[in-house]
Structure 1
Amino acid sequence: MDDDSGRPLDVLDASVGKTVSVRLKDGETYEGTLTGYDQHMNLVIESDDNTTIIRGDNVVSITP
């Protein structure tokens, strides 16, 4: 199968600069603008004047 559009990093790349909601394993949710990520799916979320870095192995879901 050659369709790469559903790969997680491709989805993250398309979400940079957009508002997302990130749910973590412990049930906590962060909402803000996705401003960056890396190959381990570590995320940088900005909201108001706060920048939050979320370790990728704690993420359960990311929704627009």
Structure 2
Amino acid sequence: MTKRPLEILDQVLNGQPVIISLKGGREIRGVLQGYDVHLNLVLDRAEEEIDGQVEKRGTLIVRGDNVIYISPSVE
């Protein structure tokens, strides 16, 4: 049976880290806490690498229309 995208996102709501690629070349790592049908995301322990430095962002809400992809993070 083919899974729907939101069903797949439900699988990473178990505290697994994810990588979010955004328009403009930004990439944010964090723990997915929730989402809605517009793909607005709530990330906890978010961090972003800028010029080789990891910047801690804490809890973020990412607007869904900026998301290119979401991938499980390998740590």
Which bin holds the TM-score, normalised by the shorter protein?
A: 0.7 to 0.9
Question: Please, what TM-score do these two structures have when normalized by structure 1?
Answer: 0.85
Residues 1:19 and 2:27 are matched in the alignment = no
Question: Please, what TM-score do these two structures have when normalized by structure 2?
Answer: 0.73
Equivalent residue for 1:43, pick from 33, 41, 64: 41
Structure 2 stretches of 5 or more lacking a match? 47-56
Identity of aligned residues (%): 46
Structure 1 stretches of 5 or more lacking a match? none
Q: Could you tell me how far apart the structure 2 residues matched to 1:8 and 1:55 are?
A: 17
Report the Cα offset of residue 9 of structure 1: 0.7
Q: Which residue of 2 is the match for residue 8 of structure 1? A: 5
Q: Could you tell me how far apart the structure 2 residues matched to 1:28 and 1:58 are?
A: 10
Aligned residues: 61
Q: Which has the higher strand share?
A: 2
C-alpha root-mean-square deviation of aligned residues, in Å? 1.5
Equivalent residue for 1:32, pick from 22, 30, 33: 30
